[in-house]
Amino acid sequence: MRIYSLSINITIGFEDIIEATIESGELDILGYNIEFPINNNNIAIVNIYNENQEKLENNLNIIKQNIDDMAEYDYEIKELNSDEYLTSYMAFLKPFKVGEITIIPNLKDYNNNEDGLYIAKQYAFGTGTHETTFLALEMINEYSKNNNISSKTIADIGCGSGILSLFCYKLGARNITSVDIDNDAVNCTLDNAKYNNIKLNNVFLGSADSLSNFQYDLVIANIETDILIEILPNLKKILKENGHLILSGILAEKENFMNEAIKQNNLTILNRKQKNDWISLLLR
C-alpha cells in the first residue's frame, strides 16, 4: 500500500488554522498529526497522510487559501511505505484516561484490555487526542456521574470514528444511535465497535434531521461551530423534555455566535469547558 505525506512547517500558533480546516471536513485525508520540534520553539509541523498524492495536493491548495498571507510556511510531499506511515503517525497517539476509562488510540498499545477503549481505525475524525473530542469525552463522563446513563437514550450526531458512542457504551449506555453524513465514518464506527467487541445496533448514514421522528435523553454533537449553529434547531427537536445536549467543536472566537443561537433556541447552559481555543457546552 502506498502512503503519501504532506508535511507543512509553519510558525507555531498557526497550526491551529490547519487543524481547524482538517476538523471542518473540507479535506480528504487518511490521518494527521502535529509535531513540535524540541530544537525549534518557533515551528510546528503538521503531517497529513493519504494514499493518493493528487488528493494531498488538492488538500494543500485548500490549506493555502486559509494560511497564505497569514504565516510563513514551507511544505514537502513524499511517498512513505506502510511501516513508515504507522511509525510516523501512530507514534503521536498515546493512551490517556478520561474518568476510569483508558482511551487507546495507538495500534502498538492494543492488548485486549477490557477496561480500555481501543480506537483502531482513524480514517474518520475522533481519536480523542484533539481538544474537541477530549472535551466531549469529559462532558459525557461528568454527565454519567449525575445521571443513570444505562437507562438513557443517546444520539451521537456526526459520530466520526465512533469514539463518543463507544465511550457511552463503556459507561453503561446501551440505547445508542450513531449517525454521520460520511459513509466512511459510519464504516469506521462499526470497525471500531468490532475491535472492542461492542455491538452498536443503530449506526447509519444520516444527520440530526434523519432522527426527527425520535427523541433522546442525551444528544451529542462534536462538529464545527458554524454547522452546530445551523443544525441547533434540529438537535433541540430530537431532545426529550428536560433532555441534555452536549456540544463540542466550538471555537472560542465564535462563542458569542454560539451563545446567541442557544438563546434563540431557548436552551440553558449547565456546564462549560475550555481547552486551548476550543469550548464544549452542556445544555438543557
**160 Cβ neighbours under 8 A, 6+ residues apart:** 124, 125, 126, 180, 185, 188, 189, 222
List, for residues 54-96, the tens digit of each pLDDT value: 989 999 999 999 998 888 899 999 887 655 555 555 555 667 8
Of 20, 29, 81, 19, the C-alpha closest to 50 is 29
Of 159, 154, 150, 144, the C-alpha closest to 221 is 159
DSSP codes, 78-112: EEE-HHHHHHHHHTT---EEETTEEEE--GGG-S-
pLDDT on residue 71: 86
pLDDT on residue 34: 80
pLDDT on residue 131: 82
pLDDT on residue 124: 44
pLDDT on residue 20: 85
pLDDT on residue 173: 97
Counting as low any pLDDT under 70, the low residues of the chain are 1-2, 38, 81-94, 106-114, 120-129
Whole-angstrom Cα distance, residue 168 to residue 164? 6
pLDDT on residue 177: 98
